[in-house]
Amino acid sequence: MPTSCKKGTIQYDFDGVVKNSLTDAPVSGVDVTISQKIIQNGTTADGYSLGGSANTDAAGSFAISFEREMVTEFLLEFEKDNYFPLEIIESSANVSTENINSYTEILEPQSWVTFKIKNSFPNDDDHFKLVTQTFREGCADCAENKTTDFFGALDTTFTYATTAGEYVKFTYINVTITDSDYDSVYTTPFEENVYSITY
């Protein structure tokens, strides 16, 4: 790997800016962590070791420097409450010790959709379906875009995290009386959106 002499040590220098995906405005207070997979005795470590960390300032900027190790890859993590976390894996071949490694990254703000569903006059053979569509998937507290079945007495509340600034769509079906409705909710950034269904 290319090297350079900086005050007697060789180091990695990272900087960058983090922006809001909806507004393109800088995001302050983002926890930025850079970890690395170190090569020891010719073997790559199983996990990552911390290289350095920082918080973005009012301009959404960060800078991190740490001493060079022999590594195979880096893990860059960006986290802030009410935003979906971002992880980037970077090969050591793409990281320079001669120049600053700069990143401009986008964080997606979160929104939450809460369903309140109640069967007012339940029977044991009642059947209700909720079909979620266009929700964010694959994250903690996120929905799966699928059909969920409910039977009999029902009085429940549950919340899904999803990407803000979009419309999520869903269909709910009262199978017992063959009735269905289709609707959508705009996911207001950083807010909980409550949708009640009573049947």
Q: Is the fold of 11-107 the same as that of 110-198?
A: yes
Closest CA relative to residue 159, chosen from 128, 136, 127: 136
Residue 66, classed as helix, strand or coil, is strand
Minimum mean pLDDT range among 15-24, 39-48, 72-81: 39-48
Q: Does residue 93 carry a pLDDT above 50?
A: yes
Q: What are phi and psi of 80, to 5 degrees?
A: -155, 145
Predicted confidence at residue 40, as pLDDT, reads 86
Complete edge-to-edge strand list for the sheet that includes strand 192-198: 155-163, 110-118, 192-198
Q: Does residue 1 carry a pLDDT above 70?
A: no
pTM of the entire predicted model = 0.88
Predicted confidence at residue 8, as pLDDT, reads 57
Question: In the structure, what pLDDT confidence band is assigned to residue 194 with cuts at 50, 70 and 90?
Answer: very high
Every domain of the chain and the residues it spans: 11-107, 110-198
Please check whether the domain covering 110-198 is classified as CATH 2.60.40. yes
Q: Does residue 41 carry a pLDDT above 90?
A: no
Q: Encode pLDDT of 118-161 as tens digits.
A: 999 999 999 999 999 999 999 989 999 999 999 999 999 999 99
Q: Are 165 and 109 in contact (CB under 8 A)?
A: yes
Q: Does residue 7 carry a pLDDT above 60?
A: no
Strands (E), the chain: 11-20, 31-40, 43-44, 49-55, 61-67, 71-79, 86-91, 101-107, 110-118, 127-133, 147-151, 155-163, 167-174, 179-186, 192-198
Q: Does residue 49 carry a pLDDT above 50?
A: yes
Question: In the structure, what pLDDT confidence band is assigned to residue 3 with cuts at 50, 70 and 90?
Answer: very low
Please check whether the domain covering 11-107 is classified as CATH 2.60.40.3330. yes
